Structure 1
């Protein structure tokens, strides 16, 4: 394997890598860094935990050192947490340059962000929605001179059906120069390859990890077949087992909704497990606080929705548990990629109900690997079953007594206003649409009834004629 010096990186960057304990480039770094330094657009598709962030941070900092000015580079990413993590890498590696960065994400003070942008930082790391808002509402900064546009988790930013991201990207692409280097990275790039090629037009260098298996070899992938209604008892038993055997292990539990996430957190705390929740209905400061507590091992268990599924690098995570089987294989790939990173070992366990078996088959087909069964002592699960179900129900009642659903409605209305829609008008439209659908259902039902009666009469007539 080549060394970093063989890739054409400057001595000061090699020294930074040595200080961070990064001694050898990973395949994605080895292949993509020279192409980026040559001035080519680059599309890198590699497994989660394979060093994709450093693959673009290192060459960008080298180019910045040769011609330092702001705003030199724009990095777009789908989640706020990932934006902060990328900024951290730029800061640590770019310290000798006196690098100035600016994070532009939702949930934070817009005026403060506008002031930071006006000071021309070297690197802007942003989520598309908030940056598009700044471009539309502010004239204190310009992106017309950027040399690099990076789309991290590019497929998520460009995927079909995600219209908000698409609209915001159109605004951003209209504000940046056509002559630029575009870098696109993800673990699941191939899904939206055609869209990516239209964004990266400068004879892009495309590199994809050649391994047939889409997840790393150090990851032990398991499943437990469980009846739908006893899933939580299995979860509690699993966590208890891991805590008894490995008290220093950290666990991420993924679930599909904010409400589930909140209920599970409340339930696990009732069982005295050190857990913290992370989901999109939390205020941004609460989200950062939760992540910081988990990263520093104050809490050993993080219960999260898919806001934590992409890119987050937390070295202490040994276990990922999928409380629900992901509906899309690529969501599974990103979730389980939170463990077994940078050559470390890890285990991923998916709780599979009788309704999810087809989803597991789709996952296995995508990752080119078979999930093995994880052995569980059923009698221990049965012992705690009643207690878990009662506790879960109590937590649901507690949550219903708060304004959790009300907050969700407020957030939805805020989002509509930001998109320039009238929430009340949208509500009326929705109600009208429901009325039309109801009428249509009633009309269909009447037609079917008439047809049935007609058939009966025809059959009766036929029977009479035959007699």
Structure 2
């Protein structure tokens, strides 16, 4: 029997957790999963290896009810670079193997027109870097009408001005969605997002 907050997750997710022998949530998962499920914007800070990325994956799957719908992305995840994007893509695939969710990864080295056409073919979860995502947004390559959740993994890299500016540009084009930012510490520069797109956000620190 799964303890809270795992207990209330989609049966498809529970099945996967069982096969991975993950039965007990980490402190960061216990604190953050209910808040993310409630729909609040959230700054989630915790040390390395505390389960933040798994939290990101579980809550994204939960939000999308583990099934493909339509063509436009319903979840966007930003990461620092191509390596992180591909790593996260593989981690997502481990969880989406037996459901219909479509995960797509886009990064700088890929031709932007190829990315646009592949994205238009339909996907549910889009993983990319801020600069690449901003380029796609400027070329109208991403339809955000169905977007439900926007997560940023290991957000420390946003201290770089170019990534910071790209993120602000992206979020200006999004009408309404939930934002969740994961980092080890809540640096003042990250907290400043409250004034832009992280309104009424909650903070969880482990």
Short-chain TM bin: 0.7 to 0.9
Aligned runs of 1:129-208 on 2, under 5 Å?
129-137=131-139, 139-157=140-158, 159=159, 162-177=160-175, 179-198=176-195, 199-201=197-199, 203-208=200-205
Does 2:89 correspond to 1:83? no
2:68 and 2:168 mapped to 1: Cα distance?
27
Cross-structure match for 1:15: 15
- Taking structure 1 as the reference length, the TM-score comes to 0.41
Distance 2:61 2:124 in 1: 10
Structure 1 residue 8, shift from structure 2 partner: 2.0
Q: Distance in 2 between matches of 1:87 and 1:134?
A: 19
- SS for the counterpart of 2:163 is helix
Q: Distance in 2 between matches of 1:15 and 1:181?
A: 26
Counterpart CA distance in 1 for 2:112 and 2:66 is 32
Q: Does the CA contact (< 8 Å) of 2:82 and 2:129 recur in 1?
A: yes
Question: What are the superposed Cα offsets for residues 90-121 of structure 1, whole Å, 9 maximum, x if unpaired?
Answer: 22112232221111111223232112211221
SS, match of residue 98 in structure 2? helix
**Partner Cα separation in structure 1 for residue 91 and residue 39 of structure 2:** 22
Mapping of 1:286-297 within 5 angstroms?
A: none
Instruction: Indicate if the aligned counterparts of 2:79 and 2:128 stay in contact, CA closer than 8 A.
Output: yes
Return the alpha-carbon distance in structure 1 between the equivalents of residues 20 and 48 of structure 2.
20
Unmatched segments (≥5 aa) in structure 2: none
Query: What number of residue pairs does the alignment pair up?
Result: 202
How far off its partner does 1:193 sit? 4.5
User: Which of 1 and 2 has greater Rg?
Assistant: 1
Aligned residues: CA RMSD: 2.1
Q: TM-score under structure 2 normalisation?
A: 0.88
Q: Where in structure 1 are there 5+ consecutive unaligned residues?
A: 210-467
Q: Distance in 1 between matches of 2:204 and 2:172?
A: 27
Structure-to-structure mapping, 1:164-313, within 5 angstroms? 164-177=162-175, 179-198=176-195, 199-201=197-199, 203-209=200-206
Separation (CA, whole Å) in 2 of partners of 1:170 and 1:192? 12
